[in-house]
Structure formats: C-alpha cells, structure tokens
Structure 1
Amino acid sequence: MFEIGDKIVYPMHGAGTIKAIEEKELAGQTQEYYVINMKIGDMQVMIPASKIVSSCIRPITDIRALKQLIHNFHHGESDEVLPWKQRYKVNSEKIKTGEIQDCAEVVRDLLRMNKEKTLNSSEKKMLDHAYKFLNSELESIKGITDNQIKSFS
C-alpha cells in the first residue's frame, strides 16, 4: 500500500515519512511493520501492515487541494457558537479524522474565537495541537510556498 519514502498523515500524530518496512517477530508471530518517522515530537512509530487501513493513515494532501483549503480557511463559515464542552467534543472529533480540512477548520475557528475572547486552557492546548498537526502536513506538501504556509496563521 505504501512504500519507503512515502509521506503520510497519521491521525492525531500529524505528518511523517515511511522510513522502512520490516518484519518483526512478536509472541511467536512474524508480521510486517511500517516504520514511520513523525515530524511532531521527532518520534518513530511502528504500525503492523495489517492495521494500516484501520489506523486511517493516508497520503499527504497534494498541492492541487491546497488552493481550496486556503480559500475555506479564510472565507469558510465557522461552526455555530456552542457551549465550550460541546465545541471541544466537536473539535476533538474533527482532529481525530486526520483530514487536513477538518484540522484547518478547528484552527480557523479557534483562532477566530481567540480574537473575540481568550480561550480556556483546554482550547488553547487544542489550538496548539491542531496547529502543529496542520503545519506538519503543510510543510510536507511538495511544491508549497512559505507564503502559503503562513496564510494559515
């Protein structure tokens, strides 16, 4: 499915690069594992090949989708105003999808809210996490410019 050198997104962890595909023996069973170097936290994860699909790992978004993403970031409508607990739950679910559009919406909405009033500590952490997640993928898109990356701040 993926090859060594492919750039991927692992939901809740951000962008990474497949560095190796190795066979490992655990509990008497030999399995193939993808070894992925993640950008955030400079960590390495190993995921069994049999779990790649269920883990929702996907390829990095391509440059063609970026124009629409930037437009939605700047001109899209924010979700209606919800009580913070509901908003936190909705935003958490969006981040868990691992989709760049969902993550960009969380960053957009929380940045807009932060301009109106100070976010609580949980939402500040969420904004920081979502921004790092979004930025890790943006920096991995082939052909993206620094100005395009800066348009998300």
Structure 2
Amino acid sequence: MLTVGDKVVYPMHGAGIIEGIEEHEVMGQRQLYFILTMPFGGMRVMIPMNNVENIGLREVIGQPEVEKVIDILRTPPGQVNGSWNRRFNANLLKIKSGSIYEVAEVVRNLMLQDRVKKISTGERRLLDTARQILVSELVLACDKDAESIEAWVYELLKENTPGD
C-alpha cells in the first residue's frame, strides 16, 4: 500500500513523491487523494486513492531495474519500419504503458533516429515527454539531479552510436 513519502511514477507524467493525503470534493463527491509533487517544475498532482490501480501508479524502480534501463539504452534498436505516424502511435502506446523499459526504448529510438534523419515535430514532442518521464524516474531511483541524469543518458546513447 502506498503512503506519504513514497516515490511513485504516474504514467504520461513521470515520477514524483507522495507529499500527503487530502480529502477533496470534486463534482459533488468527497474522496481521498494522494498529493504528488513532481520534481520537474514542482507541479502538484492529485490522484484519487480509489483509482490508483486503474491509472497505473507504481513505485519507482530500484537498482536492478536501473541496470536493465542502462542495457536498453546501450542496445541498438531493431529495424524501424513504417511511416512516422505509425511509429508515433506505437511510441505513444509505449509511453502510456507506464513501463520504464518501454519509455527508455522510445527515448533511445527517437534520439538515435533524430541523429540519422531529423524527426517530425510530433515525434520531437513525444521524445521530450518520454525523456522527461525517464529522467524524472531515474532522478528519484538514483538520487541524483536532473542535469547529471540527462548527461548520463546522453552518454549511454552515445555509446550506442557507432563512429560517433
């Protein structure tokens, strides 16, 4: 059971810390909400406690999972097929899954694709979202600041680019 102080991931938004539990009335219904503070921009998010499973709220990964993320970022992507809108939809589904591994794949694939041939504006926004989600979770998982995590991710991806 999640509680105040837990580090959690909210799919499509990123990682945050449960700062409190508050009762609010929304649309005529009183219920309890987790109050999350997100490390990026200090945004506060209210999540109904009775809806935690449906939205995919989960705890931040531990060190063994961080190692798997590193492996994903270092592993060359498979063959990219299809039009940009097919890739966009497939990547969007991966981000919505809430899986750090799928988000890491999206970051890796789009960053490496952008080095070969510039990605579309829509894919750039998707990359920015995926990168923010990935970095926010790694910040909490590794207890480091966002700048050093971003530099680290960039270095891992650089290892994945032959001749760079």
The SS at the match of 1:92 is: helix
RMSD: 2.1
Aligned residues: 153
Instruction: Name the counterpart of 1:150.
Output: 151
1:104-119 matches, within 5 Å, as: 104-119=104-119
In the alignment, the residues of structure 2 paired with residue 69 and residue 3 of structure 1 have an alpha-carbon distance, to the nearest angstrom, of 26
- The amino acid that maps onto 1:64 is P
Shift of 1:144: 6.3
Residues 38-85 of structure 1: per-residue CA shift (max 9 Å, x gap): 223321111111111111000001111111221121114335322101
| 8 Å contact kept, 2:16–2:36 | yes
In the alignment, the residues of structure 1 paired with residue 40 and residue 144 of structure 2 have an alpha-carbon distance, to the nearest angstrom, of 19
In the alignment, the residues of structure 2 paired with residue 116 and residue 14 of structure 1 have an alpha-carbon distance, to the nearest angstrom, of 28
The SS at the match of 1:45 is: strand
TM-score, normalising length: structure 2: 0.84
In the alignment, the residues of structure 2 paired with residue 58 and residue 107 of structure 1 have an alpha-carbon distance, to the nearest angstrom, of 20
Residues 9-51 of structure 1: per-residue CA shift (max 9 Å, x gap): 0000001110001223445543111111122332111111111
| 8 Å contact kept, 1:79–1:109 | no
The SS at the match of 1:61 is: coil
Q: Give ranges in structure 1 of 5+ residues lacking alignment.
A: none
TM-score, normalising length: structure 1: 0.89
Shift of 1:147: 6.9
Q: Give ranges in structure 2 of 5+ residues lacking alignment.
A: 155-164
- The amino acid that maps onto 2:90 is V
Flag the structure with higher helix content: 2
